[in-house]
Amino acid sequence: MRTQVGIVGAGPAGLLLSHLLHLAGIDSVVVEVRSRADIEATIRAGVLEQGTVDLLSEIGVGERMKREGFLHHGIELRFAGRRHRIDLSALTGGKAIMVYAQHEVLKDLIQARLDTGGQIVFEAEGVSVYDLTSDVPTIRYRKDGEVVELHCDFIAGCDGSQGVCRPSIPPRLLNVYERHYPFGWFGILAAAPPSTEELIYNLHERGFALVSTRSRQIQRLYFQCDPKEDIADWPDARIWHELRTRLATPEGDWKLIEGPITQKGVIGMRSMVVEPMRHGRLFLAGDAAHIVPPTGAKGLNLAVSDVRVLADALSAFYRTKDEALLDGYSATCLRRIWKAQRFSWWMTSMLHRFPGSDAFQMRVQLAEFDYVTGSRAASTALAENYVGLPLAA
């Protein structure tokens, strides 16, 4: 089998790349190990930057997002019960964010690909990539018991941090920059209407908490926990007690709306970047090349900006045979990625209790809150990063 661009992974990066290439008249095949049902049901991130919203709308996959997503013009920061709204739109010349779950974006992208004759191979087994530095890099997999060799001009490694593409690059050619955080997030879905119109990022001396939403009937909530926390130790009543304690305001002017908890899970927190994001004719995009802690809500958005750059570079190549944009792919992406890494690390550091941190550290974090909320310059810096820096940042 032959295609122009072989794409490993049907996550946000892979599916969006495939659709962007289709719009540029370039043929691709997406190869994915998971089933469509599994992909469409996995709960992940939920915040889309302004640039992501604009892109999905421009390419015709924004209909349902605009109908069912929640457009937010601000976020709340809450420190030790003190509340402050960051007016994202006022501080960024009218930009906003959309709360719309990643798996909903994936459903829309899968539908768009299938409607336009796109090829997605779900439940591929034994996927591997080879001949990466030749002119015919190849993806090999098994489907329904048969071995398939997919010969490509280029391969996009969009298969996440546990995928096969990154480990196919000789380790001596890659620099890996990594930071592990000594805490995780306990995440729940609760069948209860939103407690808040806008997201609340909360620091309490017991640790971080986040109030987000999924729909008019479902809330998404998180609280900082031990990364090895066992969900069996957390019956519903204990979870609600912890969230109520961390989110309480001295005036008691805010109430957490509770309901049956339908899902529980613990998420690890780390920052990671590999450089360069290219080896021969293999290009890494999204989580295959970088991981951010979820505090800045950047993971999905970085995948989107990577594949925008890659789609432009590949279209330029097929139009003119000019490889300059492909050669610049890694450096172009990494400039924006490192700024998002910095922001995610900063939000994480400001909003969490680090084990062993003392009263001095807490005072510094409170001062940071005072500064960020009290200074227009500092609020603007937070806002412009949160709604998303420009593509060529």
- Give catalytic residues, as residue numbers: 72, 201, 294, 298, 386
354 DSSP assignment: P
CB closer to ligand PHB out of 9 and 294:
294
Burial of 90 (0-12, 13-18, 19+ CB in 10 A): middle
* Whole-angstrom distance, CA of residue 212 vs CA of residue 222: 8
Closest CB 328 distance from ligand PHB, rounded Å: 30
* Whole-angstrom distance, CA of residue 155 vs CA of residue 174: 18
DSSP-based helix, strand, coil % in the chain, nearest 5:
40, 25, 35
Closest CB 314 distance from ligand PHB, rounded Å: 31
R_g of the chain, CA atoms, integer Å = 21
Closest CB 45 distance from ligand PHB, rounded Å: 5
β-pairing, 207-213 vs 270-275, is unpaired
Look at residue 88 and give its three-state secondary structure: helix
Q: Residues 302, 78, 261, CA angle at the centre, nearest 5°? A: 75
Closest CB 293 distance from ligand PHB, rounded Å: 9
β-pairing, 154-157 vs 207-213, is unpaired
Burial of 337 (0-12, 13-18, 19+ CB in 10 A): buried
* Whole-angstrom distance, CA of residue 101 vs CA of residue 43: 8
* Whole-angstrom distance, CA of residue 53 vs CA of residue 212: 18
Closest CB 335 distance from ligand PHB, rounded Å: 22
* Whole-angstrom distance, CA of residue 345 vs CA of residue 292: 8
* Whole-angstrom distance, CA of residue 73 vs CA of residue 77: 14
Enclosing H/E stretch for 102: helix 102-115
Q: Which residue bears the tokens 């080879």?
A: 130
Closest CB 142 distance from ligand PHB, rounded Å: 34
Tokens of 108: 């829309």
CB closer to ligand PHB out of 110 and 300:
300
CB closer to ligand PHB out of 29 and 292:
292
Q: Which positions touch ligand PHB (CB under 6 A)? A: 45-47, 199, 210, 212, 220, 294-295, 297
Closest CB 201 distance from ligand PHB, rounded Å: 7
Tokens of 287: 């989580």
CB closer to ligand PHB out of 143 and 179:
179
